[in-house]
Amino acid sequence: MTIHATIDTTRNFRPKSEALALLIERGFLHQCTDLEALDAKLVEGRVTAYAGFDATADSLHVGHLLPLMAMRWLQKLDHKPILLIGGGTTRIGDPSFRTESRPMLDDAAIERNLRGIRDTVERLFDLSEGEGRMVNNAEWLDEFRFLEFLRDFGTHFTVNRMMTFDSVRSRLDAQQPLSVLEFCYMMLQAVDFVELNKRFDCTLQIGGSDQWGNIVNGVDLGRRSGNQLFGFTLPLLTTASGAKMGKTADGAVWLNPSRLSSFDFWQFWRNTADADVVRFLKLFTDLPLSEIDRLARLEGQEVNEAKKILATQVTSIVHGPEAARAAMEQGEALFSGKEDGTQPTHVLSADLLDGSLGLLSLLVRLGFAGSNSEARRLVQGNSVRVNGELETDDRRQLTRNDTREDRTLSIAVGRKRKALVQFG
RNA sequence: GGAGGAGUGCCCGAGUGGCUAAAGGGGGCGGACUGUAAAUCCGCUGGCUAUGCCUACGUUGGUUCGAAUCCAACCUCCUCCA
């Protein structure tokens, strides 16, 4: 039995529901299992929707922001979001489009990760009773007993069909091993959907484009038990230069401030390529489309205004308005030409200046270089400035004489990485 | 189960006894140009208490004055046959 998927038919589709209209307009919709029926359902009344997230790290990252924003809009339009954290499924690992198995995590690690994720989610959503919720699928997955599970759900899945999914095929075609454990992941995700439907009347699942197969499975399983479920996927986000979005030199762009500072988070968005600005404004901010249209008309240097607004808006949503403003001011100060930031970005013990503090080790300590050798190369490459002065001596030692009256010292590597160091 | 092939730095990939910290490309970083963009050009890209030392070519041993390169065993992957 196949599902009638409407893929990319959004172009000629005129949605009647406010929610779908908005999501399509802002670029959230990629594929949907049944656009018209979903539209009708959204017009009818409040719909409960969910998006699932693995608990593989103690913070979500920019890649997760897309489903989060989609859910956020739904909540704003009076629908109900459920953030499903895969505490149970994380112990298996989704094989979708991966060439290798994921590492499995133990319960303690998963528990820790859940707490970190909650920190972010709470800022983005109203999770109060009746408005939205965050649930862990371990709640039900842990309860199943094997034979019971096979009896209740195993009969609804055929290996024949499971084999046809791209996520499985790709692994098999590549002659990579696919364990039974991973193979069954899609069953679990389908069960999640049905379970959420049973418990909370959830009828819509949102996921990344790589989740299409898993989502369809859930919708199918729902139908077998007599419920019409819906799902849609989000576009795969790549930057204008073709790279997968969300990576910087230092790795993933985390949403949790403890993993990535508000300053760096703001800078990430500030550095968006021109070609991506409008798309990102639509997807990652709450700004009305009329305002985005205005920003889209900016040309040349003025585009920078749009980028600042983008950065501040996103940071405000994810880290809060105060953090966003501080990050912006800090960025403005650091890049306005004046080397001094408005506030110290690093505080170090004054004792360090008693002995000899090598410039190289300071660069490492500030995170501007991964090793002394790398720091040395930066100095030799004429990219390091101390208090605004180009420093070319890689054996340079810093002393109290190098600090200003307020016992600060500014260090810059290249044009973008700057720090104000306070010794106190 | 049998025959053959492959495992090299962040990634891809050259290298069959000293000139190899290892060609080339990608990525990344830095510089010039700019607008904290894009494009282009140039430089750098294992570590260290540094004219030297240490670590590194799947793993462990061995041959040799000297090994990524030769030998043995093991591990992993691929191709063909059964």
* pLDDT tens, residue by residue, A25-70: 999 999 999 999 999 999 999 999 999 998 888 888 888 899 999 9
Measured CA to C1', what is the nucleotide nearest A177? B77
Evaluate whether A56 touches A110 at the Cβ level (below 8 Å): no
Intrachain domains A6-233 and A346-423 with the same fold: no
Q: How far apart are CA A99 and CA A113, in angstroms?
A: 24
Residue A4 predicted with pLDDT over 60: no
pLDDT at res. A101: 47
Domain A6-233 class in CATH: alpha beta
Q: How far apart are CA A345 and CA A413, in angstroms?
A: 14
Interface residues, strand B, Cβ cutoff 7 Å: A 175-177, 240-241, 243, 248-249, 267, 270-274, 300-301, 303-304, 307, 331-332, 334-335, 364, 370-374, 376-378, 381-383, 413-417
User: Does the annotation place A267 within a ligand binding site?
Assistant: no
* Burial (CB count within 10 angstroms: exposed 0-12, middle 13-18, buried 19+), residue A44: exposed
Measured CA to C1', what is the nucleotide nearest A330? B36
At residue A198 the predicted structure's pLDDT band, cuts being 50, 70 and 90, is very high
The model's pLDDT over A84-101, given as tens digits with 9 standing for 90+, comes to 998 887 776 665 555 444
Q: How far apart are CA A328 and CA A315, in angstroms?
A: 9
At residue A412 the predicted structure's pLDDT band, cuts being 50, 70 and 90, is confident
How distant is C1' of B17 from CA of A379, in Å? 39
How distant is C1' of B23 from CA of A227, in Å? 62
Q: What are phi and psi of A292, to 5 degrees?
A: -65, -40
Tell me what ipTM this predicted complex has: 0.86
Segments making up each domain of chain A, as ranges: 6-233, 261-335, 346-423
pLDDT at res. A1: 34
Residue A176 predicted with pLDDT over 80: no
Could you tell me which residue, A180 or A52, shows the higher pLDDT? A52
pLDDT at res. A303: 94
Per-residue pLDDT, averaged over A282-304, amounts to 95
Contact partners, residue A245, CB within 8 Å, separation at least 6: A62, A63, A237, A238, A239
User: Does the annotation place A185 within a ligand binding site?
Assistant: yes
CA angle, residues A134, A281, A26, in degrees to nearest 5: 70
Q: In terms of DSSP bridges, do strands A202-207 and A230-233 run parallel, antiparallel, or are they unpaired?
A: parallel
Residue A352 predicted with pLDDT over 60: yes
CATH of domain A346-423: 3.10.290.10
Strand B nucleotides, any atom under 7 Å from protein beta carbons: they are 27-32, 34-39, 43-50, 77-79
How distant is C1' of B82 from CA of A175, in Å? 20
pLDDT at res. A7: 46
Top mean-pLDDT range of A112-126, A148-162, A350-364? A112-126
Residue A248 predicted with pLDDT over 80: no
Q: What are phi and psi of A49, to 5 degrees?
A: -125, 155
Residue A188 predicted with pLDDT over 60: yes
The model's pLDDT over A119-159, given as tens digits with 9 standing for 90+, comes to 999 999 999 989 999 999 999 998 999 999 999 999 898 88
Classify domain A261-335 at the CATH topology level. Answer: Tyrosyl-Transfer RNA Synthetase (1.10.240)
